């Protein structure tokens, strides 16, 4: 089973709203990722959690706030976003050892009005 789930599938929010994206995996993976993807571009890394600790923050604006409550869950809290933040937000988790394979969730399509 290589399933990563994400909710919601679609989200429309205003620039003054606060919302959260959720990601869950039950594969025992210990690294989890948030990516942002704009149309016709590759995924752009935002954050990496390794063993529930933030290990990489790719200089993402503070209006994006990640949280890893436990080894299976990853949240992305959104506040005061801009229209240019509209994108597909992808969560991924990674196996360990030689495999080191990242598996992506289905994504959340975010539209900021």
Partner 1 sequence: QKEVEQNSGPLSVPEGAIASLNCTYSDRGSQSFFWYRQYSGKSPELIMSIYSNGDKEDGRFTAQLNKASQYVSLLIRDSQPSDSATYLCAVKQAAGNKLTFGGGTRVLVKP
Contacts with partner 1 by CB under 8 A lie at: 2, 31, 33, 40-43, 45, 48, 50, 55-56, 88, 90, 94, 98-107, 109
Cα within 13 Å of Cα(84), Cβ side: 2
Instruction: For the CB of residue 4, give the shortest distance to partner 1 in the complex, in Å.
Output: 9
Instruction: For the CB of residue 76, give the shortest distance to partner 1 in the complex, in Å.
Output: 15
Instruction: For the CB of residue 16, give the shortest distance to partner 1 in the complex, in Å.
Output: 27
Which one, 66 or 105, has the nearer CB to partner 1?
Answer: 105
Give the whole-angstrom CA distance, residue 41 versus residue 37. 6
SS3 at position 59: coil
Q: Where are the beta strands (DSSP E) in 43-84?
A: 44-50, 53-57, 64-70, 73-79
């Amino acid at each position: 089973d290589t399933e990563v789930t994400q909710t919601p599938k679609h989200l429309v929010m205003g620039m003054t709203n606060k919302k959260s994206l959720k990601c869950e995996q039950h594969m025992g993976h210990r690294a989890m990722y948030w990516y942002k993807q704009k149309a016709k571009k590759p995924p752009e890394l935002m954050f990496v959690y390794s063993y529930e600790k933030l290990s990489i923050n790719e200089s993402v604006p503070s209006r994006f706030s990640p949280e890893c409550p436990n080894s299976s869950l990853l949240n992305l809290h959104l506040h005061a976003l801009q229209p240019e933040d509209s994108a597909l937000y992808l969560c991924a988790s990674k196996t360990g050892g030689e495999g080191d394979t990242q598996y992506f969730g289905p994504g959340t399509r975010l539209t900021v009005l």
